Amino acid sequence: MNFREYKVGARLFSFALGSSMVITLLFPAMEMGAAVATDIALDKQLSAGRETGFNYDDPLMLGWGKPSKVLVSADPVSGQPIPATYAYVYPAGTPFPSGILHPRTLGSAGAGLSEKVGRVGEAQKKSGAVFLIKSDEQKHFYIENATATLGWAPDAVLKAALDENVAHVGAGKTQFVREGCWWCHTLLPEQTQDWQVFGAPPMLGDFNGESPTAFGSDRKAPDLLHVASRNSSKEWMMLHFFNPRLVQPHSIMPRYDYLWGEKDATGAKIDFNKWRAEYTEYSEGKRADAPEVPSFAKDSRIRDLVDFMLSLK
Amino acid sequence: MLKYLFAKNEDIPTGTAAVFFGFSSIVWFVIGTGLGSFNAAKLAFPDFVMGNEFLAFGHLRQVHVHAVIFGWISMAFAMAMMYITPALGNTKLWSEKLGVWNCFLWNVGLSLGLTVLWAGITSGREYSDFPWFIDLYIALFIAIPLSLNVWMTVITRRTQGIYTTNWFFVGACFMLIIVFLIGNLPEFFHLTGLTEAYLTWWFAHNVLGLWITPVAAAIAYYTIPKVTGNPLYSHRIGHLHFWSVVVFYSTPAAHHLMSAPLPEWLKSFASVEGVLILVPAVAFVSNILLTMQGKWNMFVENLEIRFTITGCLLAIPLNMQGGFQQTRAINWYVHGTGWIVAHAHLALLGFSTFLEGAAVYLGLQTLMKRKLYSLTLGNVHFWLLLIGFAIYWISMTIAGLIQGAGKIYEVPYIDVVIAEHPYMIARWIGGTMVFISNVVWLYNMWMTAREGTVVPAGRMPHELAYER
Ligand code: HEM
């Protein structure tokens, strides 16, 4: 017995599946691949670094090898004041995002400008680099390698900045993906009815270089794409992550107190059991005030996450 | 099992691989639904078990999803393929040893993959959450060996033609490999942005449409004629079903991202193709129900038929929902709400699970040549599963409609959360019934292996009377 009688069928099958893939994969990929990166896309990829899902540089997904987003108001070389601007600092050894490695993913105009004017081709992973987002008169956004154009060294920028001006946005996004925030929250306001409450939906060029997009498909909780425009209080975020029911008694959001780690901002050990016991007394009405939430350490995972939340404008 | 890994192929009794796959799938079913019920409890009572990263909702949700899809559903498929493909080709499985290894590597790989996900190490892409090394493992050690065994068994068959079920098996194995390798391209080659997001949903859509749905249907094309003794109502309609799955089901992936800035033509195209999924759906359901002519008494009397027909009947609301909820007119209302979660469970816990349940019941009894240990426990399994599922589905559908209304009328979010709370509790109760029913099933199958009455040679298990 053999397959002979099924030759027609087998050919038709490959034809059908092949055409389906041409229409639903090849055509859209060509179209989306030509999208021109907006400033939003440049900001997202420069703050998140190479990629957020599992990768060699961060195999345990703890936020290793991620850049910092730094608010700079004085030139780190000369010390002269300059208009406040965000610099994306990649210390030596930090992997670069796709816009630096493959500028053509930025779309035609952005790619040319980033290479010629922005000199991104000269950025070296070995020595690190500092990037800025710039635009020309026609509002074409591109990436500038400030290490090459202005002589800003990553360490100098970090040293000149106050800790409150340094945001661990990339490492925070890692926490967002790893802790599964996107099973309840979305990062995609819908085009139809979300304008009023959750803000503007994203546009075609807003995603170039972002991976993963972590849109989320279930929305059991508010959309977060513009959350910091509604609420930019670090204090509120801190209380809310430690125990959402401190600020919102009916919330179903889980407690993320474990992201504080062992020690608080002063270096003292956090006694979680005591806190929980006191909170239970409080929620049963046996105590007038809720226990004090410990403030988090500078290098805790929660700091990264809060930095990421506050960057979502 | 271990002793068969290194035995000679000829020394391994026929059906060993299928029996191992059958029991593995039930064990994963118990684990997967147990996790589902735990997650549901966390959504209903957010302070239930806290302070431990590894028991957090965000870490366990994807473990539940992958345990049921790759553990329960896909292993039950493998069991069905290793049992049904040779039976329909009037031959033996091409390599029993490959089958046993396949089952062993599958369990190892899945445990590894779930552990990695559990630790929070993920690709961050829904349904293709496994990091790329697990994806490669699945393609190389799970999907390809399984397909090889199915294809070679069909090639070495001793019948002239190939029966409907086997076309579906052969085609679906091929499509699974393609979908797995192409859907994970972003992880292999660092693709980013919208392309990555779209490929994520291309994978999610096609793994359901080209693997889970057709294989589940193919199983029904075997079980119903085999147990009732009626020939399949129409092979022509079977053809229609097969070709329309390939043509229509492989194209509407973009309907999962209707609110993302994908090209407009793509969204419209996906929407139209998505309605056309009703073609294979109607073909399948009518073909199976018409095959039952004159044997409807078995729907009441016979456990396997009852499971299969229930699954087919659930395919009706499933496809009505599926066809219409993805059009723009309706999608904007239900997108991202509990309605979709209800729909996902109608597809996987309703339609597909009932069909596979029947195949595992039938296959294990036939291969072990033992009659089911207890009909009572079988009935308890069926009813707990059906009622638990119904509670789940109804409560999440209502919760979804509330969320949809909250969305368009711009109700403060927290009021929506409060309004949903009773349905979250109902979902947890329903899901827990499903979990309990599966523990009962595992016990029943285990006792069947040990104490079920021996089925005499040349007879089918359903021809014997139950003893308990
Ligand atoms: C064979 C049985 C089952 C299958 C195949 C299955 C499959 C799935 C799938 C695919 C999802 C993702 C849904 C989505 O993203 O829209 C999911 C989510 C979920 N499942 Fe199941 N499930 C099963 C049984 C159960 C049971 C018994 C429970 C117990 C209550 C349960 C509870 C949940 C919960 C709580 C979620 C999360 C939903 C959310 O995030 O809103 N599942 N399941």
Q: Which tokens go with A143?
A: 């990436």
Write the ipTM.
0.94
CA B79 vs CA A288, B16, B121, B353, B398: distances in Å: 60, 10, 30, 14, 36
Closest-CA distance of chain B to residue A162, Å: 31
- Smallest CA-to-CA distance from A58 within B413, B366, B135, B124 is with B124
Q: Whose CA is nearest to atom 32 of ligand 1?
A: B36
**3-class DSSP string for chain A:** CCCHHHHHHHHHHHHHHHHHHHHHHHHHHHHHHCCCCCHHHHHHHHHHCCCCCCCCCCCCCCCCCCCEEEEEEECCCCCCEEEEEEEEEECCCCCCCHHHHCHHHHCHHHHHHHHHCCCHHHCECCCEEEEEEEECCCCCEEEEEHHHHCCCCHHHHHHHCCHHHEECHHHHHHHHHHCCHHHCCCCCCCCCCCHHHHCCCCCHHHHCCCCCCCCCCCCCCCCCCCHHHHCCCHHHHHHHHHCHHHCCCCCCCCCCHHHHCCEECCCCECCHHHHHHHHHHHHCCCCCCCCCCCCECCCCHHHHHHHHHHHCC
Which residues in chain A have Cβ-Cβ distances shorter than 8 Å to B131? 53-54
The identity of residue B307, as a single letter, is: F
Do the strands A81-90 and A68-74 form a parallel or antiparallel pair, or are they unpaired?
antiparallel
What are the pLDDT digits (tens) for A194-252?
777 898 999 999 999 999 999 999 989 999 999 999 999 999 999 999 999 999 999 99
Confidence at residue B410, expressed as pLDDT on a 0 to 100 scale: 81
Which of the four pLDDT bands, split at 50, 70 and 90, describes residue A5? low
Contact criterion met (CB < 8 Å) for A61 and B122: yes
- What is d(CA A147, CA A94) in angstroms, rounded to the nearest whole number? 14
Confidence at residue A1, expressed as pLDDT on a 0 to 100 scale: 45
Confidence at residue B323, expressed as pLDDT on a 0 to 100 scale: 92
- What is d(CA B119, CA B62) in angstroms, rounded to the nearest whole number? 11
Whether pLDDT at A125 is above 90: yes
pTM: 0.95
Closest-CA distance of chain A to residue B58, Å: 4
| Chain B residues 182-211 within an 8 A CB cutoff of chain A | 182, 186-187, 190-200, 202
**Among the atoms of ligand 1, which is closest to the Cα of residue B396?**
41
Topology adopted by domain A174-311: Cytochrome Bc1 Complex; Chain D, domain 2 (1.10.760)
Contact criterion met (CB < 8 Å) for B61 and A183: yes
Whether pLDDT at A95 is above 50: yes
- Smallest CA-to-CA distance from A294 within A259, A270, A261, A267 is with A270
Burial B143-174, CB ≥16 within 10 A → b, else e: bbbbbebbbebbeebeeeebbbbbbbbbbbbb
What are the pLDDT digits (tens) for B431-452?
999 999 999 999 999 999 999 9
Which residues in chain A have Cβ-Cβ distances shorter than 8 Å to B250? 16-17, 20-21, 24
Output the ligand 1 site: residues, CB below 6 A.
Answer: A 183, 217-218, 220; B 33, 36-37, 39-40, 43, 61, 64-65, 68, 72-73, 340-341, 344-345, 348-349, 353, 427-428, 431, 434-435
- Cβ-contact B345, B395 below 8 angstroms: no
A254 vs B50, B131, B413: nearest CB: B50
Cα angle: A29, vertex A226, A293; to 5 degrees: 130
SS3 B454: strand
Cα dihedral sign, B135-B139-B143-B146: negative
Average pLDDT over residues A10-37: 93
CA B248 vs CA B210, B242, B270: distances in Å: 10, 10, 9
Contact criterion met (CB < 8 Å) for B159 and A1: yes
Q: What are phi and psi of A98, to 5 degrees?
A: -70, -25
Residue B369 Cα to ligand 1 middle (Å): 34
Which strand ranges, in their side-by-side order, compose the sheet holding A68-74?
Answer: A141-145, A129-135, A81-90, A68-74, A166-167
SS3 B90: coil
Confidence at residue B381, expressed as pLDDT on a 0 to 100 scale: 98
- Cβ-contact A108, A120 below 8 angstroms: no
Which of A182, A183, A218 for a ligand 1 pocket mutation test, highest count of atoms within 8 Å of Cβ? A218
Confidence at residue A7, expressed as pLDDT on a 0 to 100 scale: 82
- What is d(CA B211, CA B183) in angstroms, rounded to the nearest whole number? 13
Cβ within 8 Å of residue A94, ≥6 positions away: A49, A65, A66, A67, A125, A128
Cis bond before residue A212 (omega within 30° of 0):
yes
Q: Whose CA is nearest to atom 7 of ligand 1?
A: B65
What are the pLDDT digits (tens) for A130-175?
999 999 999 999 999 999 999 999 999 999 999 999 999 999 999 9
Contact criterion met (CB < 8 Å) for B194 and A191: no
Closest-CA distance of chain B to residue A168, Å: 19
Closest chain A residue by Cα to residue B65: A183
Confidence at residue B438, expressed as pLDDT on a 0 to 100 scale: 97
Confidence at residue B1, expressed as pLDDT on a 0 to 100 scale: 67
Which of B59, B63, B64, B439 for a ligand 1 pocket mutation test, highest count of atoms within 8 Å of Cβ? B64
The identity of residue A280, as a single letter, is: T
Residue A219 Cα to ligand 1 middle (Å): 15
Which residues in chain B have Cβ-Cβ distances shorter than 8 Å to A5? 161
What are the pLDDT digits (tens) for A73-86?
999 999 999 999 99
- What is d(CA B130, CA B187) in angstroms, rounded to the nearest whole number? 10
Residue A158 Cα to ligand 1 middle (Å): 45
State which residues of chain B have pLDDT below 50.
Answer: none
Closest-CA distance of chain B to residue A127, Å: 23
Whether pLDDT at A283 is above 50: yes
Task: Tell me the Ramachandran region of residue A49: left when phi exceeds 0, alpha when psi lies from -120 to 50, beta otherwise.
Answer: left
Whether pLDDT at A6 is above 90: no
Contact criterion met (CB < 8 Å) for A196 and B253: no
Whether pLDDT at A3 is above 90: no
Q: What is the mean pLDDT of chain A?
A: 93
CA A279 vs CA A242, A243, A261, A267: distances in Å: 11, 10, 19, 22
Closest-CA distance of chain A to residue B408, Å: 6
Cβ within 8 Å of residue A59, ≥6 positions away: B121
CA B211 vs CA A42, B207, B410: distances in Å: 38, 5, 39
B10 sits in which H/E element: none
Q: In the beta sheet, which residues pair with residue A135?
A: A141
- Cβ-contact B232, B287 below 8 angstroms: yes
B262 in contact with A, Cβ within 8 Å: yes
- Cβ-contact B121, B59 below 8 angstroms: no
- What is d(CA B239, CA B244) in angstroms, rounded to the nearest whole number? 8
**Among the atoms of ligand 1, which is closest to the Cα of residue B33?**
27
Contact criterion met (CB < 8 Å) for B251 and A221: no
- What is d(CA B183, CA B191) in angstroms, rounded to the nearest whole number? 11
Domain boundaries along the sequence of chain A: 39-165, 174-311
Which residues in chain B have Cβ-Cβ distances shorter than 8 Å to A204? 194, 261
- What is d(CA A111, CA B416) in angstroms, rounded to the nearest whole number? 45
